[in-house]
Chains A and B, each alone.
Chain A
Amino acid sequence: MSQISVNNLTWQYDGRLKPAISNISFEVEKGEFILILGSSGSGKSTLALCLNGLIPQEMPGKFSGKVKIEGLPTDTFPLSQLTQKVGVIFQDPESQIAMLKVEDDVAFGLENRLVPLKKIKKRVKESLTSVGLLEFKDEITSDLSGGMKQKLSLASMLAPLPNILVFDEPTSNLDPKSTKDLFDLIHKLNQSGKYTMLTIEHKLDGLMDMVNRVLILNPDGTLLADGNPRNVLKKHFLKIKEYGMWIPTVFWIGIKLKDKLKEKDISIEPPLTIDEAANKFKLLLKDIKDTKIKIGKKVDAKEKRESQDKKDKNEYKKFNQIEVKDLNFAYTNKKYVLKNLSFSVYEGDFLAIVGPNGSGKTTLAKILTGLLKPSSGTISLYGKNILTIDPLEISKKMGFVFQNPEHQFLSDTIYNEIALSLRLANKSEDFIKKKVNSLLKQFELIEFKEKNPFSLSQGQKRRLSVATMLLWDQDILIFDEPTYGQDFKNSQQMWNILRDLNSAGKTIIVITHDMNFVSELTEKVILLFEGEIRFFGEIRELFQNKKLLFNSYLMEPIVTTLARTLKLNFKDGSFPITIDEFLYLIN
């Protein structure tokens, strides 16, 4: 008997016109590690909720088919026992921690299941030990970092001794280091052989070596593919690309390399993991070194970068738009969140602010826009102290797109949402109509213009929040995690939007954890660590400095890691930081 058996599963939420998932069938054997792929809205999370019985037992909707966990039907068997067998770790740690103290939260699920005190004590200790949080058992849960909160959620799920663990994008709120830590933990649990695991995840690079099987959902919630990762990715690559799902970076590089080498009659199988990629590429490069392929161009990295599309931009007369001098900031509790920051932002800059969670990135952005007042030091905008400028004037010079797009929404339709601030500024309806419609077109929202902003998909909400920011043709735009929680397609779309804005001469400042984004798009970077600037300069320089990255809890882009193992570098000794550069060096 399979451990999980899903048979013709269809589920439709009440009030929806179409099923979220339909006609899904698959079996899972003990000890498997399954990756579930699908674009946003394809029903991945819904499938996760079907596995522990929350659907259909706790959600209103139409259920058909059969799901059995160790032979027990999820639609009728007591939920408390199903949820004991199948632990689900959700995306948002804040809404799955119940108690005020760490150990109490782990104990909570056991108390509810009437486990005797002696056993609770033992299991709380074991679970906290296995996620490395034992020494924090007396801490207040809200004081924990995002990464620690997710580890706590995992500990609370491990305590009832489940056999199956389901992860629903548990790393999407986490910085690169915490993500790696959580993946390492999942690795360890996987190796213990005690658990069957299913995971929904878009950061695939640290995961592929565990995955023994991939399930892919179509956008309409049906099953596209089920099987061995390599076969499935190869066979359905075009569909995956079309639907905008995430795929492992090395696989992506492999595909591009394959295309490039096709004309030379060399074929290569796209790899799945970084180790595999390194080995494969090494062999490839060795084999053909003397014959058809030349490795390494005799160019400096800088020349390559500038030869791209940035040529005309250097002709801008650059002048300094924002100047930060000796900035310090503390919230009321006297602990300095930002210490002694000084830097300038020039017209046309594409600047990234990176650093682990809690290093002060968002606080800095809030100060730059005048939302928070510095404790000491000055911020000048076009040479004028920002504290002396009227907030309305600031908003005409500088736009700020917050992490959660919903926070900006005030209106009942998308059209009105964009029109809102224009109306408040007493612009004529004609002018408003022209402006709003052109923005709606630019952001592919025109067909939804009468819909409520809250009813949009994640990607659309994001685009709407950007659109509402561009009304005044501001010169400076600040984005807080613009690609957070989005599928590949929407992320790409956002990248393109930012690239276009920057090419049009706007200054872009991006706060992000997405190192691929940083390496592909931005030029300069500020690395914040515990409130101090650890690095301010060219992006390339940062990614060459492995030690600094490590000490600052950051990761270099996968291509750089790969190039480093392959000793593939530019004339000046620097390693490529984008996929294009990487491919450029193989010729």
Chain B
Amino acid sequence: MREIFFKYIDKKSILHSINPSIKLIALLTMFVAITIVMDPITSLVFLLIIVLSTKYLANLKFREIATAMILSISMASFIAIFNILFYKTNFIPNIPVIFNIGKLKITNDALRVGLSRGIRVFSLINLSIIFVSTTDVTALVDSLVQNMRIPYRIAYGTLVAYRMIPLLSDEFNQIQASQKIRGVLPKKNIRSKIEFFFKQAITLMVGAIRRSDRLALAMDSKAFGAFKKRSFYRPERVEFKDVIFLISTILVILITYYIMWKIGFLKKLGVSA
């Protein structure tokens, strides 16, 4: 389980060099911009922009993000198919139908909404993949504290906790193995399985609490939280290029909106469909 879908890929690229906080703001802006587009063609244009950025701005190769792509493709297709099959207009009597699947009627609206939602989900996940792949977690935290004034105790405290996650998952596997070898297995029913899970979780918690006590002592030994401020080993600054990057992102969004509106695809923005 050490293989994770999303992880930082150490490379050189334009996106790698952008200040993490600015990159995060750009990411959120793109999120909003994509979410409020209901027209599938416009969504496709945004997707194209994302695919191009993956290659040219983030310098990522397909095989580097292949595992993450499996996740995004399957989620997007699930949402698309689910909406195409079960969108509310399909159930209005006497509505014009494009085609039938068994007893299910598929309407024009269902197809449009399904595709649009699928494409948007696909875009959003891929944006996240780009962000995670080009942003070192430590740099992100450093930048949030230095550039966004997030209190350092919270930010680094979270980072330390983040470091513990794989340890916990290892430990849980150990606990399960220890139980299994004792021949202590839950009965086949769900209740027994849930009970069992909770008992194992308690064992995990006892260990975790003890570890967090030790960790707290170690952090105190390192003077964590002793002062209001701290100095920084990795200074993070917002530079001119970061501002340019953010402005460009916003411009790309606005220009895309404008062109698509002129051509006639994009009629309105919203969140309802």
Contact = CB atoms under 8 A, between A and B. Distances in A.
A407 B221 contact: no
A112 B224 contact: yes
Interface string A380-401: 0000000000011011100110
Contacts of B221: 52, 54, 83, 87-88, 96, 109, 157
A79 interface: yes
A90 interface: yes
A25 B67 CA distance: 61
Contacts of B185: 391-392, 424
A94 interface: yes
Interface of A: 49, 52, 54, 58, 78-80, 83-84, 87-88, 90, 92, 94-101, 103-104, 107-117, 120-121, 124, 141-142, 156-157, 160, 331-333, 366, 369, 371, 391-392, 394-396, 399-400, 402, 404, 406-410, 420-421, 424-425, 454, 468-469, 472
B155 to A, nearest CB: 12
Contacts of A112: 222-227, 230
Contacts of A49: 217
A95 B2 contact: no
A22 B155 CA distance: 40
Nearest to A55: B217
A114 B163 contact: no
B203 interface: yes
A396 B183 contact: yes
A156 B222 contact: yes
B183 A392 contact: yes
Nearest to A405: B178
Contact of A110 (B2, B215, B218, B233): B233
B167 interface: yes
Interface stretch (B55-63, B206-214, B255-263): B206-214
Contact of A407 (B138, B174, B215): B174
Given A121-B233, A142-B166, A402-B174, A80 B217 contact: no
Contacts of A472: 183
28 contacts: A79-B223, A83-B221, A87-B221, A92-B214, A99-B138, A100-B137, A104-B234, A108-B224, A110-B233, A111-B231, A112-B230, A113-B223, A120-B233, A142-B166, A371-B177, A371-B180, A371-B181, A399-B181, A400-B181, A402-B178, A404-B178, A407-B179, A407-B207, A408-B178, A409-B203, A421-B183, A454-B206, A468-B182
B154 interface: no
A107 B200 CA distance: 37
A73 to B, nearest CB: 17
B240 interface: no
A60 to B, nearest CB: 12
B215 A95 contact: yes
A462 to B, nearest CB: 13
Nearest to B153: A112
B197 to A, nearest CB: 11
A333 B163 CA distance: 21
B215 A96 contact: yes
B167 A94 contact: yes
A246 to B, nearest CB: 23
Contact of A58 (B137, B181, B217, B232): B217
Given A52-B221, A99-B138, A114-B231, A395 B3 contact: no
Contacts of B171: 407
A46 to B, nearest CB: 12
Contacts of A421: 182-184
A95 B214 contact: yes
Contact of B233 (A58, A95, A111, A331): A111
A482 to B, nearest CB: 14
A284 to B, nearest CB: 47
Contacts of B2: 331-333
